[in-house]
Structure 1
Amino acid sequence: MVRVPRPVPGCDIKSLPLRPDEAYLLSRIDGVVSERELSLITGLSQAEVTTALDRLFVLGAVDFNEPTAPVSRRAHPSVAPSSGATSTRGTEGPSSRTFEGGFRAGPSSRRFEGTVDAPPASRRSFEPLADLPPPTRRSIELSAERRSGADTGVEPPPATRRAIDLTVEQPRIVDPELEEPVDLDHAKKKRVLELYDALDERNHYELLGVSIDADKKQIKSAYWVLAPEFHPDKYFRKKLGTYKQRIEAIFDRLTLAHDVLTSKQRRAEYDTYLEQTRRNRTMAALLEHDPADIPAVVAAAEDAPGNGPPTLPGRLVGTKLASTPIRRTVADAGGTSPAPATPPTPTNDPFRRYDSTRNEARRLQLDRYVLAAKVALERKDLAAAANAYRLAVALAPEDDALARKAVEIQQQAAAELAEGFLRQAEYEASQGRWSEAAMSFANVCKARGDDPRPHERVAFCTLKTGQNNRRAIDFARRAVKLSPGVGEYRLTLARAYMAAGLETSARVEMERAAELSPNDARIREAIAQLRAQMKKPDGADPEK
């Protein structure tokens, strides 16, 4: 039998103890949709819908229409063929879709006027709600625990055949890239996508799957294992779609990694670049004024092997403040020795004892930070020293000499970091990695705001990427503003205007560049190329 639930008029739903799935199911009940259709609409299994409807019925939220037997597509048993008719196919006898009483004139052809005898009440047919005992809190809790699978001591009812047969499969999330119709199996698609997405995150060693101290033979072996898998000739005459560009990019990157790491000179340059990148990342993290960096500087003063001077960590580590006693004084690191602490005078005032203990702890922390900064300076670790001085100034803001020293070291550290980013950017630009080079040159600009060269390089590398012309114009304008008499900067600004479609502005900058550098053959050739690109068949100017 098919039950059709319907909401009970006047029922205060907000006062009922409904679970989220029951409230969602109740929102889909309109007195027309059957129990089985509710399972298909909501995505719940038939057993879950049945359990929820039973509880909603007990709570008085829903009622059920008279149960009806499902209508078969075959002839109804109550309609018998006329005597003498052996078949209704191709004759004027009653059709298998007709019913006694004929169809009712209405919008749906499935409705009919003939009545069907209601079957006997099933176990799921209920009497009016008034004849049933009201639900108790214990019955509601048992129902919730039974649904969650908890052991309630009450044996749950066995699963019905209908609940097993009509379980609705949950919809799965489809990745459009994996579903692209190409001549690759699912595993191959997934491998190509994962490796392609990781190209910008992995260095040459990680891409080939070798250690940083691998020899030339190991590098070649790793390459010849991976290269045939992504060689374009392997996919000749195959339908690849968007996977074609991904596979070619992977193969090109594998080949580049092999060529760099098997060349002694190029590998040395690449290793220097990796080390510089690591140092830049560490220094940038230490110079960030983030409270999360405080444990790193505190740990620097405590990282002392034996009785030697404390050392600063090369990376951020967390440790508790003042977890070990100070083994050296500030005087040991080259500073002035503070006056020995005078033991506090015994007193019975608890507030004085508290203030004395707190001031002593503050002084010990200040000494530790100053000591860590001086040891870092001895090791030429300007970033760690600047961070330690910053923490010391926070503990002693009234010390002007300490504040001036902190500002001085901070400026030196920023200059060193800018130089490191400059070396990183130049290597990236030499390898044609324009997007990464533009970001590194932009980091140089943060510390060298009055240097026009890195600003021009940001604009140049950004134009090479073919993206964000607005950013290229801004940095090129800044370079021209800082050095208006340099023709190269004018030429870069003209290129940026040209890429943005501002040809009139581009012509003005080209003329100024030609005036500033009349004897520079490279600039004259670049200007000629730009003018050739500007020529239009109709001679129209986009800005006019």
Structure 2
Amino acid sequence: MDGFLLTRINGRLGSKDLAKETGLPDFSVERALEKLEKLGVIERIDPNAPPPPAPPPPPPPPPPQAVREKRGLPEFVSLSAPKYDPKELEEECDLPLEQRKRVLDVYYRLEDLDHYTLLGVSPQAEKKAIKRAYFELAALMHPDRYFKKYLGSFKPKMEALFGRITEAHDTLVDRERRADYDSYLAEIATTRGMEAMLERALEEASRTQAPAPAPAPPPPAAAIPPERSSSPNVMDGRRASVPDASPEEIRARKEALARRLLGGQRLSTPGRPSAPPPMRPPQGSQPSAPPPMRPPQGSQPSAPTPPTQRYASASDAMDALKRRYEDRIDGATQAQARRYVQTAEEAFAKGDLVAAATALGIATKFSPNDTALAIRYQETKNQADLALTESYAKQADYEEKSGHWAEAARSWQKVAKLQTNNPRAHMSAARALLRAEGGDLHQAAEHAKRAVAAEPGSVVGHVVLAEIYSKAGLLASAKRAAETGLQVDPTNATLLGIIGKAASKAPTKG
């Protein structure tokens, strides 16, 4: 990632601009920039700082042969940990150690390098600069340069690098192919940005939970002792050992708790004699100090006191308190829902469908009974999925055209994941996995089965499924798939060939 980010630094973009340009999270970009700065690769400047003094006039230019820099494969060793096993450097071969490091480092990063980065040129490089970079790199990787040299396992790796360098050159020097490739890179940047936003939004959604209304917390055990059963619970020895209280004492404690929970309101208990609460001064005596939390006698209240709500019992008071608590919770959840709807509106204004869909999804958690909100969320999510699907499909088409079957398989599988009933996506994913080196044939067969089930009248699906079974060595399954396909197209040469191959390898009796 550090190498990819380094290619996008142009001296004008800040960290947030780089995050938007690359589609990477802000914190990842900031961390990578700090690492590059510590390594001395980049220098961060304050855009508000006064301009530096004009540099002194440059020295006279050196001879032409001195300005020619020594070009080699891109180096990433100093930017991040190597992706290869260091034991591979210990292999006996005729390559110098530094050359081995470069070969391994670039070989294991080929999937992450675009053509410009591989050649070490800028996206604005002219045709002449691209050709010069190619010839210098190809000289290092061309097999003929190491004639009669023992390269061991490095030889196929260098051949793969030479092939990719040649492909990069042939693509970038052709105007039409270069335009297609630039469009492909733009699609990758778009989907990476959307994926990064989706990942961040999902993390936020996982952290955001709509609080469910819950009953008020139970009172402390010291305030209202639990009723004792005839057989105390052995797992609650401490509570079982609390001495019994009289009914009047329990009632007085409940009324005191209810008054505290209701902010000092008094309870009326008609029909029952009122027992004096504990710690009350004797009749006729004056308290030495006014009761706490009450204004002194004769003081003027700062605001009119609302009428006192009276309840028949402590149980009624607790029920009223619970209803007030649930009302507050309901109001809080609705406020949260409105906040995320507003976030979605702002994302819509920026054209960010992924962020809008995610914000609406969180809002539905806070307002699960809002049918209109749920419908709007689903519509927005469908639009975001469609945008991602179209971008993945464009990438897959280009990768197929370039013969990059492993990359095409990944792109088509992403399309199939978003559109599970899309037969073209499943068929294309199956075909790409079949042609990719080391492709997962089990996954390929599953995609082909989905495509055949969706379009049983298309012979293409039957052909691909039969080819997958044949390549996997499952000749009986290949024969059955081919026979099913021949019912659609009885003259299909590929299916007839698979049946013939299965018959020739079938065990003979005798």
- Confirm or deny a common fold (TM above 0.5): yes
Find the counterpart in structure 2 of residue 453 from structure 1.
424
Kindly state the Cα deviation for residue 281 of structure 1 after the two structures are TM-superposed: 2.2
The counterpart of 2:495, out of the listed 527, 532, 535, is: 527
The 5 A counterparts of 1:205-244 are 205-244=116-155
Query: SS in structure 1 opposite 2:110?
Result: coil
Q: Alpha carbons of 1:363 and 1:277: their partners in 2 closer, same or farther (altered >3 Å)?
A: same
Find the counterpart in structure 1 of residue 414 from structure 2.
443
The counterpart of 2:445, out of the listed 473, 494, 504, is: 473
Counterpart CA distance in 2 for 1:219 and 1:347 is 84
The counterpart of 1:198, out of the listed 74, 84, 109, is: 109
Find the counterpart in structure 2 of residue 370 from structure 1.
341
**1:24-83 Cα shifts (integer Å, max 9, x gaps):** xxxxxxxxxxxxxxxxxxxxxxxxxxxxxxxxxxxxxxxxxxxxxxxxxxxxxxxxxxxx
Find the counterpart in structure 1 of residue 295 from structure 2.
none
Find the counterpart in structure 2 of residue 4 from structure 1.
none
The 5 A counterparts of 1:398-477 are 398-465=369-436, 466-477=438-449
Q: Alpha carbons of 1:409 and 1:279: their partners in 2 closer, same or farther (altered >3 Å)?
A: same
Kindly state the Cα deviation for residue 451 of structure 1 after the two structures are TM-superposed: 1.6
Find the counterpart in structure 1 of residue 165 from structure 2.
254
The counterpart of 2:487, out of the listed 497, 509, 515, is: 515
Asked which structure has the greater CA Rg, the reply is 1
Query: SS in structure 2 opposite 1:239?
Result: coil
Contact kept in structure 1, 2:347 and 2:355, CA below 8 Å = yes
Counterpart CA distance in 1 for 2:137 and 2:305 is 78
Contact kept in structure 1, 2:191 and 2:388, CA below 8 Å = yes
Find the counterpart in structure 2 of residue 272 from structure 1.
183
The 5 A counterparts of 1:159-178 are 175-178=86-89
Find the counterpart in structure 2 of residue 499 from structure 1.
471
Query: SS in structure 2 opposite 1:494?
Result: helix
Matched, 1:384 2:355: yes
Kindly state the Cα deviation for residue 244 of structure 1 after the two structures are TM-superposed: 0.6
Kindly state the Cα deviation for residue 361 of structure 1 after the two structures are TM-superposed: 8.1
Kindly state the Cα deviation for residue 511 of structure 1 after the two structures are TM-superposed: 2.8
User: Looking at both structures, which has the greater relative contact order when contacts are Cα pairs under 8 Å and sequence separation is at least 6?
Assistant: 2
Contact kept in structure 1, 2:93 and 2:152, CA below 8 Å = yes
Counterpart CA distance in 2 for 1:212 and 1:359 is 55
Find the counterpart in structure 2 of residue 163 from structure 1.
none
Contact kept in structure 2, 1:287 and 1:386, CA below 8 Å = no
Contact kept in structure 1, 2:93 and 2:150, CA below 8 Å = yes
Q: Number of aligned residue pairs: give it.
A: 314
Counterpart CA distance in 2 for 1:284 and 1:541 is 52
Counterpart CA distance in 1 for 2:486 and 2:329 is 70
**Aligned-partner residue type, residue 480 of structure 2:** V
The counterpart of 1:185, out of the listed 92, 96, 105, is: 96
**Aligned-partner residue type, residue 343 of structure 2:** A
Matched, 1:396 2:396: no
Give the share of equivalent positions with the same residue, in percent.
38
Contact kept in structure 2, 1:230 and 1:250, CA below 8 Å = yes
**Aligned-partner residue type, residue 488 of structure 1:** V
Q: Alpha carbons of 1:362 and 1:471: their partners in 2 closer, same or farther (altered >3 Å)?
A: closer
Contact kept in structure 2, 1:286 and 1:387, CA below 8 Å = no
Contact kept in structure 2, 1:503 and 1:541, CA below 8 Å = no
**5+ unaligned residues in a row in structure 2: which ranges?**
1-84, 209-302, 307-320
Counterpart CA distance in 1 for 2:179 and 2:498 is 38
Kindly state the Cα deviation for residue 527 of structure 1 after the two structures are TM-superposed: 3.0
Counterpart CA distance in 2 for 1:442 and 1:293 is 26
Counterpart CA distance in 1 for 2:134 and 2:446 is 42
- Aligned-residue RMSD, C-alpha: 3.4
Contact kept in structure 1, 2:138 and 2:165, CA below 8 Å = yes
**5+ unaligned residues in a row in structure 1: which ranges?**
1-173, 298-345
**Aligned-partner residue type, residue 260 of structure 1:** T
Query: SS in structure 2 opposite 1:485?
Result: coil
Contact kept in structure 1, 2:201 and 2:355, CA below 8 Å = no
Counterpart CA distance in 1 for 2:353 and 2:399 is 25
Counterpart CA distance in 1 for 2:93 and 2:144 is 16
**1:458-484 Cα shifts (integer Å, max 9, x gaps):** 111111124322222221112112222
Counterpart CA distance in 1 for 2:152 and 2:502 is 35
Q: Alpha carbons of 1:404 and 1:347: their partners in 2 closer, same or farther (altered >3 Å)?
A: farther
Find the counterpart in structure 1 of residue 13 from structure 2.
none
The 5 A counterparts of 1:275-354 are 275-288=186-199, 291-293=202-204
Q: Alpha carbons of 1:368 and 1:248: their partners in 2 closer, same or farther (altered >3 Å)?
A: same
Contact kept in structure 2, 1:487 and 1:512, CA below 8 Å = no
Kindly state the Cα deviation for residue 283 of structure 1 after the two structures are TM-superposed: 2.1
**Aligned-partner residue type, residue 540 of structure 1:** A
